Amino acid sequence: MELSPTAHVILGMLAWRPMSGYDIKAVVDHSTRFFWAASYGQIYPELSRLADAGLVKGKAESASARKRTVYTLTAAGRRALTEWLGVEPRTFEYRDEGLLKLFLASAAPETAVATLDAKRAFHEAKAKQLREIEAASKAEGYAGMVLRYGIESSEWMADWCRREAERLREETA
C-alpha cells in the first residue's frame, strides 16, 4: 500500500500517543499546518484506509454524549512510519504568492512596496502566533526544533521584507 502524505502525518502523530481524528486535526492546526496541512476530509478517510491496512487500530470510546474512535499505531504502522522517515525527503516545495508578485513586479513596479508590506505583516503575525504556541506549550525535541525554525524563518522573512521595502522607498524618493 502506498501511503499518502496525510497518512504519514497520521502515523507520526499516533506514534506520540493514541488520538481520535478530531485530536489529530487539533494537533495539526497547532503544529504541522504551518508547513503541511491536513483537513478533516483528508484525515478521516485516511484513518479508515490505515485501519483497513492494519497500520492503525481504532477503539470506540464514549466520552460524554459523543461517540469517538481513538486510534493507536500498530507494529506494522510503526514499521511503515520508520521506513518512510528513513527515506530522504523529496518534497521541499514552497509556494508564496507574494514572492511571485515581486518576481513579476516589473510590469507594475508601484505595487512592489505594498506587496512587501503585506508579506511583512503576514510573517510578523505568523512569528507572533508561533511565539504564543511556544509559550503555551512545552515543544521539545524535534517538534521544538521545527517550532524554532518557524519562528526564526518568519522573523527573518519579516525583516527581509522591511529592508527591501525601505530600499524601494528610498529609490523612488
Question: Where exactly are the structural domains of the chain?
Answer: 5-85, 97-172
What are the pLDDT digits (tens) for 81-140?
999 999 999 888 888 999 999 999 999 999 999 999 999 999 999 999 999 999 988 778
What are the pLDDT digits (tens) for 48-86?
999 999 999 999 987 666 788 999 999 999 999 999 999
Contact of 50 with 56, CB cutoff 8 Å: yes
The whole-model pTM stands at 0.83
DSSP conformational letter for 165: H
Of 1.10.760.10, 3.90.1150.10, 1.10.1040.10, 1.10.10.10, the CATH number of 5-85 is: 1.10.10.10
Count of CB atoms within 10 A of residue 84's CB? Answer: 15
Q: If DSSP codes are grouped into helix, strand and coil, which group holds residue 3?
A: coil
